[in-house]
Structure 1
Amino acid sequence: MTIVRKICSPYLPVHSGRPATTARASEQAATDERVDNIRIRPLGAPAAGRARAAVERMKLWDNGRTLRVKFLDGVPEVQARVEAIAHEWEAIANLTLKFVAAGASEIRISFAEKGFSWSTVGTDALTVAATKATMNYGWLEPSTALREYQRVVRHEFGHALGMIHEHQNPAAQGQIPWDKEKVYAYYAQQNWTRDDVDFNLFQLYSEDSTNHTAFDATSIMEYAIPDSLTVGSYSVGWNTEFSATDIEFMRRQYPRASPGTVELAIGAARTSAELATAGEVDTYHFDVAAAGTHIMTTEGPSDTVLTLHGPNDAGAVLAWDDDRGKGLNARIVRKLQPGSYWLSVRHKSAQSTGSYTVGVKKSG
């Protein structure tokens, strides 16, 4: 039994020969789907000047969305097992997986690429041609053990909903004592180049490219790591269950209490809202008919961060603010041209919840 048959081979166009997707196309698909796939995270103020921030870029689907899933091939018995396990994610994330026999679909599953299982990550599926697979299961058969179905299907659908490999989590830095030369030698037997190994195992996502938790060796998104490939005594077994952190993290990304995108009217009464779930981001949309200076504010007891996106492009961040409003509230003053704009509101502390109001008015 080889490890290539037993680990997820993520959808990596550069290393697989599939057509490459540009970073710009990937980011555009993500922000067209969900405004808060770009989130501002305050880093605190330097000795002098304005507070600094990091930009988190994610590939989450719109909260509450129904994702259509279609099998491109495969035998009915295997398809039925994959579908049943995939639905387990609906109890964790505020999403619906609707399996369809024909027509358009966001997630398309194949079994044709033998020996490899992989998936696109979240909204990257939208950049794949409509006739091509976005997910592959290369070794599932009617005789495959249930625990193996659970392990691989839970893992690949984790990718499909926006999760990355846990060992590439920025917080994994220094957590796994890899014996790199042994790892290179081991995977060379599976026809992986050193670049493949670097890209799939050792290369971490940057701090500003993904929302993440502390490193979780029990995550369903973690590879098995044999002791023989590490320095000292360190190993990770085959994770087949969702970890407590997996569940908490994905419930934050897809909260059931979120109202979705709320329309704001310029100059209207303020809108009351609540960040009911730790890590929740609320999104608002408003249209500007005539150019002018506009004031966007939050008010209330919560320490909020406000981000302005647009015009006409949810992926364009125009401005953000943390504490320029009343107390711990945010305030943005900006001359806006005609077009569509979005505001996103989050609590400064990812662990906190609280109420607030938000409003937009024209200056003067």
Structure 2
Amino acid sequence: MAHTCRICSPYVPGLTHADTAREASDEAASAERVDNLRITPMRAGSGRTRAAVERMKLWQNGRTLRVRFLDGRPEVQARVRDIAKEWEALANLQLQFVDSGPAQIRISFAEEGFSWSTVGTDALTVPASEATMNYGWLEPDTPLREYQRVVRHEFGHALGMIHEHQNPAASGKIPWDRPKVYAYYAQQGWDRDDVDFNIFQVYDEDSTNHSAFDPASIMQYAVPDSLTVGSYAIGWNTEFSATDIEFMRRQYPRNAPAMQELQIGGARVETDLALAGEVDSFHFEVAAAATFIITTEGPTDTVLTLHGPGDRGAVLAWDDDLGRGRNARLVRKLQPGYYWLTVRHKDAGAAGRYSLGIKQRA
């Protein structure tokens, strides 16, 4: 296998560049975890605020994911399994390898020359008989470090991580020599659209690996000096970086409290956004149609999002700072049903205390 082929495939079968697949992806993510859909306020023209919707693809925290091999040699399967299980020390998830029955992650070795994985909950949109992950060059005599590099990387995708060079914070950090990059990947059968989509394009939202570009991430491609302007290169990362570890522990925290239930007219919930990027989730039930006032209070610049009724992925309303100071306030007439609230810091890198309450307007 040529060294230039040892990166993720530009395509994930059935999911890349398809609008219908994107809709299914969003629906699966929203059904899995309420904070997979977040609102980020952005300043528009004339001082007005608009909103951007972020689409995360994280699994429900604490979940057991069933993993099954569709094919492959037993000795190769064993090495993949042992390395994949390392993720359990970083994230509050269990990887249960099974020999039969349904599985969220299904591994094949059939597509030679290409390794890839669906990202997080995108696996739920793949037909149950098809692979969600492929390893195209692992053999019994493949060096251990290559196993570590590719298996840690692909299972990072499977748990919700994207390529680090597509992190918004990576924009402008890598001095790509674009003509040489196009020529390099053309040798692997990539056209210019493939290169733009997989190499140059960064995500617009902050639903990414990290808040800062991390060239040491296990999710970062190698960048040879021959493809950059000046003297710049990134080697083949085989270990989890400190930022990888911190990020996954934040997204899948251990000993996380269960989603809190709010009582309409009850005492305010005193809590905090303890870590950068944290999103708190709450739920409440409306018994009869009425107008309700939902507010945050405290020193933290909060963004409050209301989801429902009956659909955790549906955004009904959101607010940034219509409350006192930098707090949020929503006033909505709600019909009977089940609703969810998510609270996040406006600054993705900040934390702070706040309280949340809901009451019926007289």
What is the TM-score with the length of structure 2 in the denominator?
Answer: 0.92
CA distance in 1, matches of 2:148, 2:272: 36
Aligned length in residues: 362
The answer for the alignment partner of 1:322 in structure 2 is 320
Match of 1:136 among 127, 134, 137: 134
1:12-51 maps to which residues of 2 (within 5 A)? Answer: 12-13=12-13, 21-43=20-42, 48-49=47-48, 51=49
Match of 1:67 among 55, 62, 65: 65
What CA deviation, in whole Å up to 9, does each residue of 1:300-356 have, x standing for no partner?
443322111112222221222233334443221111122221100123333333333
- Kept in 1: contact 2:211–2:349 (CA 8 A): no
Mark the CA change 1:336 to 1:132 in structure 2 (over 3 Å): closer, same or farther.
same
Deviation, 1:193, is 2.1
The answer for the alignment partner of 1:360 in structure 2 is 358
CA distance in 2, matches of 1:278, 1:16: 31
Q: Secondary structure at the match of 1:228?
A: helix
The answer for the alignment partner of 1:152 in structure 2 is 150
- Kept in 1: contact 2:112–2:137 (CA 8 A): yes
The answer for the alignment partner of 1:7 in structure 2 is 7
- Kept in 1: contact 2:110–2:134 (CA 8 A): yes
- Kept in 2: contact 1:255–1:280 (CA 8 A): no
The answer for the alignment partner of 1:313 in structure 2 is 311
Q: Secondary structure at the match of 2:29?
A: helix
CA distance in 1, matches of 2:11, 2:294: 40
CA distance in 2, matches of 1:96, 1:347: 29
What is the TM-score with the length of structure 1 in the denominator?
Answer: 0.91
- Larger mean Cα displacement after TM superposition, 70-79 or 146-155: 70-79
Match of 2:224 among 198, 223, 226: 226
Give unpaired runs (5+ residues) of structure 1: none
Q: Which amino acid aligns with 2:351?
A: T
The answer for the alignment partner of 2:75 in structure 1 is 77
- Larger mean Cα displacement after TM superposition, 225-234 or 200-209: 200-209
What CA deviation, in whole Å up to 9, does each residue of 1:158-202 have, x standing for no partner?
101111111122222222222222222222222222222222212
1:179-198 maps to which residues of 2 (within 5 A)? Answer: 179-198=177-196
Deviation, 1:113, is 0.8
- Kept in 2: contact 1:278–1:353 (CA 8 A): yes
Q: Secondary structure at the match of 1:124?
A: helix
What CA deviation, in whole Å up to 9, does each residue of 1:55-81 have, x standing for no partner?
322111112211111111112211111
CA distance in 1, matches of 2:205, 2:140: 41
Match of 1:124 among 87, 112, 122: 122
Mark the CA change 1:15 to 1:265 in structure 2 (over 3 Å): closer, same or farther.
closer
- Kept in 1: contact 2:292–2:333 (CA 8 A): yes
Mark the CA change 1:197 to 1:302 in structure 2 (over 3 Å): closer, same or farther.
closer
CA distance in 2, matches of 1:164, 1:184: 21
What CA deviation, in whole Å up to 9, does each residue of 1:245-287 have, x standing for no partner?
2122222222224324222232333333332333211111222
1:209-248 maps to which residues of 2 (within 5 A)? Answer: 210=208, 212-248=210-246
The answer for the alignment partner of 1:334 in structure 2 is 332
CA distance in 1, matches of 2:65, 2:140: 26
Mark the CA change 1:235 to 1:14 in structure 2 (over 3 Å): closer, same or farther.
farther
- Kept in 1: contact 2:161–2:208 (CA 8 A): no
The answer for the alignment partner of 2:107 in structure 1 is 109
Q: Secondary structure at the match of 1:77?
A: helix
Mark the CA change 1:92 to 1:68 in structure 2 (over 3 Å): closer, same or farther.
same
Q: Secondary structure at the match of 1:274?
A: strand
1:283-322 maps to which residues of 2 (within 5 A)? Answer: 283-322=281-320
Deviation, 1:112, is 0.9
Identity fraction in percent: 72
The answer for the alignment partner of 1:93 in structure 2 is 91
Mark the CA change 1:324 to 1:67 in structure 2 (over 3 Å): closer, same or farther.
same
Deviation, 1:4, is 5.0
Q: Which amino acid aligns with 1:9?
A: S
CA distance in 2, matches of 1:147, 1:300: 49
Q: Secondary structure at the match of 1:70?
A: strand
The answer for the alignment partner of 2:164 in structure 1 is 166
Q: Secondary structure at the match of 2:293?
A: strand
What CA deviation, in whole Å up to 9, does each residue of 1:103-148 have, x standing for no partner?
1111111111111110000110010011111001111111111110
Q: Secondary structure at the match of 2:28?
A: helix
CA distance in 2, matches of 1:87, 1:21: 33
CA distance in 1, matches of 2:59, 2:9: 22
Q: Which amino acid aligns with 1:2?
A: A
CA distance in 1, matches of 2:320, 2:41: 7
Q: Secondary structure at the match of 2:322?
A: coil
Deviation, 1:14, is 6.8
Mark the CA change 1:68 to 1:10 in structure 2 (over 3 Å): closer, same or farther.
farther
- Kept in 2: contact 1:11–1:119 (CA 8 A): no
Deviation, 1:150, is 0.6
- Larger mean Cα displacement after TM superposition, 19-28 or 303-312: 19-28
